[in-house]
Structure 1
Amino acid sequence: MAKKAVVVLSGGLDSTTCMGIANREGYELYPLTFSYGQRHQREVEQAKKIAAYYGVSEHRIVDLDFFKQLGGSALTDKSIEVPDDGEEKGIPVTYVPARNMIFLSLASAYAEVIGAETIFTGVSSVDYSGYPDCRPEFIASMSETINLATKSGVTDHHLTIKTPLMHLTKGETIRLGTELGVPYQLTTSCYNGEEEACGTCDSCRLRIKGFKEAGQIDPISYRIPIDWLN
């Protein structure tokens, strides 16, 4: 039987790169996507396309309206504007409270039920937006908690959280994904979720910077002109 992996798949560049890595490592892929009340559903729709690209047998989409009810983030509360004037200092308004902690908890429950041994998530502590739940300290703590709180963990069938992008820049991630044939044309990163990416939100800026560092042209469209040669 093939080994199984749950991949937390947002429809973005990093999580899709994790799909490519898990696929290369021979895992049977079980992507898990969250519709959590974010400003748009484009990333969920792109995640469906990415799952189809990899020919997965099962793609779960979890509806978590709680985050929208909770608010407190520019990604879930439309009364808070998404910044478009460069990287913010400190923890930005696009931080969603406890998002990765909740996502990984649900991913561990799914992994336990289907008999998966690994959870892949595309967090990075290098080129990221300052979110506290993207740090290696958090992943280490969450890994310990998951194995203390699950039947798998206490019966010596430990679940492993893999974060293969944790110490990579966005450019290094893109170079790796390109080698693996990751379908970046299907991914979305823009916080605003329009058909053409805005090119000015923090997520777009990090993506543009990464493709330039990788010496490549991003295959998605932007609302503003991008000079990929500089």
Structure 2
Amino acid sequence: MTEADGAAGEGALVLFSGGQDSTTCLAWALDRYKRVETLGFDYGQRHRVELDCRATLRTEIARIRPDWASRLGEDHTLLLPELGRLSETALTSDIAIEMAESGLPNTFVPGRNIVFLTFAAALAYRRGLKRIVGGMCETDYSGYPDCRDDAIKALQVALNLGMERRFVLETPLMWLDKAATWGLALDLGGPSLVDLIVEATHTCYLGERGERHDWGYGCGTCPACELRAAGYRRFVAEAV
């Protein structure tokens, strides 16, 4: 077991969507902390099928290692329908995915990670959890500004000041590309975790789970599928 700076006795709350990144982050947290709870958000996302994956993923990840099973704590889901109604994006409405006039992809949901982490901190406050783990990444991503390291660090300061707590916002994928994220899963849980991510997680923005690719299910053409597929191909090539 890997222990992060002697913090194995602390608990953690993982933002757990049911996707590849959040499942890898869950394994990362289970490898480090004695109590790990999970939190999902239903905000009217077009790909809300990801939420249906969460229960299976929690059950199966607990079977990979006995110590993970003993550490996996409660699951929570929060409903945030107003976030979806305010957004009018390709993630929350049936519109084509394209670049917006702002220069950002129209899959960007303004304020999403800020809202998620604020609600996560409020829950962590009540649950007595100090560490909040999220899959934000600015190395191999869609360009969302609230995934950047500076934004997460600034939010950590604001949350700690506003709640009189010493939360630590953990982003283990921040400086990893998608190939390295697949590699991290292999390091943490071996082929069993990689297989679980391929079979049971959901990443596709369109919510498509009909076609099975070597990297998992999805439309294969949306930005999320393209990132996941390209990362998987690099991961496999580097492993040969």
> TM-score surpassing 0.5?
yes
The one-letter code sitting in structure 2 at the alignment partner of 1:12 is G
For residue 61 of structure 1, report the CA deviation from its aligned partner. Answer: 0.8
TM-score when scaled to structure 1? 0.85
User: Which has the higher mean CA deviation after the structures are superposed, 68-77 or 11-20?
Assistant: 68-77
Which secondary structure does the structure 1 equivalent of 2:106 belong to? coil
Preserved contact between residue 37 and residue 73 of structure 2 (Cα < 8 Å): yes
> CA separation in 2, counterparts of 1:48 and 1:161?
24
Residue 2 of structure 1 deviates from its aligned partner by 4.4
**Do the aligned partners of 2:47 and 2:204 also contact (CA within 8 Å) in 1?**
no
| Residue aligned with 2:27, SS | helix
The one of 8, 25, 28 aligned to 1:21? 28
How far the C-alpha of 1:68 sits from its partner, in A, is 2.5
Q: Do the aligned residues in 2 keep the contact of 1:67 with 1:76 (CA within 8 Å)? A: no
1:75 to 62, 84, 91: 91
Gaps (5+ residues) in structure 1?
217-228
Instruction: Give the secondary-structure state (helix, strand or coil) at the position aligned to 2:78.
Output: strand
Note the C-alpha offset of 1:4: 1.1
State yes or no: 1:11 paired with 2:18. Answer: yes
- Residue 180 of structure 1 aligns to a residue in which SS? helix
Structure whose residues are more often helix by fraction: 2
Task: Tell me the equivalent position of 2:167.
Answer: 159
Q: CA deviation at 1:208?
A: 0.3
Distance 1:96 1:27, change over 3 A: farther
The aligned runs of 1:138-157 (5 Å cut-off) are 138-151=151-164, 153=165
TM-score (norm 2): 0.81
Looking at structure 2, the residues matched to 150 and 68 of structure 1 have their Cα atoms a distance apart, in angstroms, of 26
SS in 1 for 2:174: coil
Match of 1:187 among 201, 204, 208: 201
1:39 aligns with 2:80: no
Letter in 2 for 1:128: Y
Count residues in correspondence.
208
Equivalent-residue separation in structure 2 for 1:57 and 1:134 (angstroms): 26
Tell me, in whole angstroms, the C-alpha distance in 1 between the residues paired with 2:225 and 2:59.
25
Q: Does 1:105 align with 2:101?
A: no
Asked if residue 120 in structure 1 is aligned to residue 136 in structure 2, the reply is no
**Is 1:212 the equivalent of 2:220?**
no
Matching residue's letter, 1:180: L
Instruction: Report deviation, 1:120.
Output: 0.3
CA distance in 2: counterparts of 1:46 and 1:52, whole angstroms: 10
Q: Which runs of 4+ in 1 moved over 4 A?
A: none
Q: Percent same amino acid at aligned positions?
A: 37
**Structure 1 position 70, deviation (Å):** 1.3
Shift of residue 17 of structure 1?
A: 0.6
Contact 2:38 2:73 in 1 (8 A): no
Paired residues for 1:122-137 under 5 Å: 122-137=135-150
Q: Does 1:175 align with 2:162?
A: no
CA distance 1:210–1:62, change in 2 (3 Å): same
Task: Give 1:43's aligned amino acid.
Answer: E
Distance 2:45 2:176 in 1: 26
Q: Residue type matched to 2:208 in 1?
A: E
- What is the SS of the residue equivalent to 2:12? strand
Question: 2:41, 2:79 within 8 Å by CA — same for their partners in 1?
Answer: yes
Residue by residue over 1:113-170, the C-alpha shift from the partner in whole angstroms, topping out at 9 and shown as x without a partner, is 111010000011111000000101101100100100114x2xxxx1100001100010
Q: In structure 2, how many angstroms separate the alpha carbons of the residues matched to 1:119 and 1:8?
A: 7
What is the rounded CA distance, in whole Å, between the counterparts of 1:186 and 1:89 in structure 2?
34
Give, in whole Å, the separation in 2 of the partners of 1:27 and 1:100: 26
